[in-house]
Amino acid sequence: MPVDDIKPTRSGLLIVRRRLALAERVHRLLSMKLDGMMLELVRLTEEAARERRALEEKYAGAREMAAVATMMEGATGVLLAALSVEASPSCTAGHRNVFGVRLPDLEPVMVKKTLDQRGYGILGTSSVIDDAADAYEELLMAIIATAELEGGVKRLLDEIEKTRRRVNALEFKIIPELTELRRFIDDQRDEMERQEWTRLRRIKRIKAKRGTGL
């Protein structure tokens, strides 16, 4: 029932009280969810910043190892070793639920490989190729971890903004309007009761006069 259709009656008052109680309960729950998401956002943001720094360091290290491998084995040797790897690295995308928010959960697939899985053993490459491969595998792991964390931060930020708008709407619009409507109905009912009491007193006086013949 729209608010404008609620009458200043006992049933109308009960409707308003139920709606107000529900709005206040939802406001409490959303406020607790908002607080929890803010704490999780702080934790994720700090973790994402650490992972981003580690990613930058691993990127620099991988480039350095690739340069050493190229110097030792030549560009052709490095290219042949890279082409001999048959299984491409990837990741599976899942999610985990945090305060009702679906945060990304990325699982690496065939990123870290054994020497046999790399497939270039028959080429007779030196250990610098292995070192470069290790460095780039670590870099890929860091990229996946960073993507997971930064994706989680973005989704949390979006949900926090939505939840904050709902909390504000409840706190500054819906709850005050329902509180004012409850107060209005209470006042109207009090006024109606005073009028009824006055009417009954008047009737009683009239009856009393008639009983005395005046």
Q: Whole-prediction pTM value? A: 0.74
170-193, pLDDT tens digit by residue? Answer: 999 999 999 988 888 887 876 777
User: Is the pLDDT assigned to residue 132 strictly greater than 60?
Assistant: yes
**CATH of range 10-204; options 1.20.200.10, 3.40.50.1400, 1.10.287.3240, 3.30.1330.60:** 1.10.287.3240
User: Is the pLDDT assigned to residue 139 strictly greater than 80?
Assistant: yes
**Residue that wins the pLDDT comparison between 121 and 96:** 96
Residue 162, CA distances (Å) to 23, 155, 172 in order: 17, 11, 15
**Are 76 and 86 in contact, with CB atoms under 8 Å apart?**
no
21-30, pLDDT tens digit by residue? Answer: 999 999 999 9
Domain boundaries, the chain: 10-204
Q: What is the 3-state secondary structure (H, E, C) of 136-167?
A: HHHHHHHHHHHHHHHHHHHHHHHHHHHHHHHH
State the pLDDT at residue 86: 67
**Are 29 and 171 in contact, with CB atoms under 8 Å apart?**
no
121-147: average pLDDT: 84
What is the rounded CA–CA span in Å between residue 9 and residue 4?
13
Count the neighbouring beta carbons within 10 Å of the beta carbon of residue 69: 24
